[in-house]
Amino acid sequence: MIIAAILLILGIVYVGWRYPALRRTWYWPPRRGLVVLMYHHVALLTNPADEQYPFTVSPELFEKHLLFLKQKGYTTISEADILRARQLGTSPIQKPVLLTFDDGHADNYTNLFPLLKKYQVPALIFLITDQIGTPGYLTPEQIQEMQQSGLVRFGSHTCSHRRLRSLSNQEIEQEVQESKKILEEKLGTSVSSFCYPFGAGGFDKRVRPLVLKAGYVLDFSTKKGINPWPWKGKSALLRAFPRGGESLWEYHLQLTRGRSRL
């Protein structure tokens, strides 16, 4: 009996290893709702062994994503659309997708922004306030220009990108409140969205109330999935994570299952 069970498990592991498609989520039932996509870099990175490879989609692939969304009838929405739907409790928008970008990398200006303008697609970028203007990150001028386009909104990704769960309440409050204040001064608008560094493992029951207390209305995690639409804000938003090098079939799984891999 035990031997049969071990053989069965070994068989499953072997088949999963031999046929990677079986480790994808295509056999899960598709879900409808608010899809929030989590990106980081938009840049050319060809070595799959690079640590940043999964977090980097090429400009060419990102353009394919935008065309795919259009072709399949998705609506690329803004932060304001989510807030409005939440306030009204209803929305006429069908198949909503929000594009989010974590960390505020410089390539979001050089590679992403031209594509957003070309296709008139809104995006939400989460900034680490300590990093603004440092090498590899967006400068205040770039941030201002993107904001003035009306296509890009900015949210907070804390001051220092530390794992909030491991900080004291006082330190968490400093991270969430101070970054909000800095961004609001820089941008001249209110900042409604917050993104937890390290996502799923980065926050717990203690952290979220402190984020909401600071005045954020939307909080974004890296927990995978698709959210109810219209969004009511009962928990942190789930996000799907299109990795660098994934196929459009895997992108389709991200949009319909909230994740491409098991």
Is residue 103 at the binding interface for Zn ion, with CB under 5 A as the rule? yes
Nearer to Zn ion (CB atom), residue 105 or residue 153 = 105
**Rounded CA separation 129/5 (Å):** 52
**Rounded CA separation 138/123 (Å):** 15
Per the rule left: phi > 0, alpha: psi between -120 and 50, beta: everything else, 95 is left
- Which residues sit opposite 38 in a β-bridge? 100
**Rounded CA separation 143/204 (Å):** 30
CA dihedral 199, 201, 224, 217 (to 10 degrees): -50
Q: Are 160 and 167 in contact (CB under 8 A)?
A: no
Instruction: Determine which residue in the list 81, 102, 219, 246 makes contact with Zn ion, applying CB under 5 A.
Output: 102
Is residue 107 at the binding interface for Zn ion, with CB under 5 A as the rule? no
Nearer to Zn ion (CB atom), residue 81 or residue 107 = 107
Distance of closest approach, residue 203 Cβ to Zn ion, in angstroms: 12
Distance of closest approach, residue 109 Cβ to Zn ion, in angstroms: 17
Query: Of 15-54, which residues contact Zn ion (CB under 5 A)?
Result: none
Within 10 A of 150 (CB to CB), how many other CB atoms are there? 10
Nearer to Zn ion (CB atom), residue 126 or residue 229 = 126
Count, residues near Zn ion per rule CB under 5 A: 3
Query: Of 167-206, which residues contact Zn ion (CB under 5 A)?
Result: 197
Nearer to Zn ion (CB atom), residue 103 or residue 219 = 103
Interaction site with Zn ion (CB under 5 A): 102-103, 197
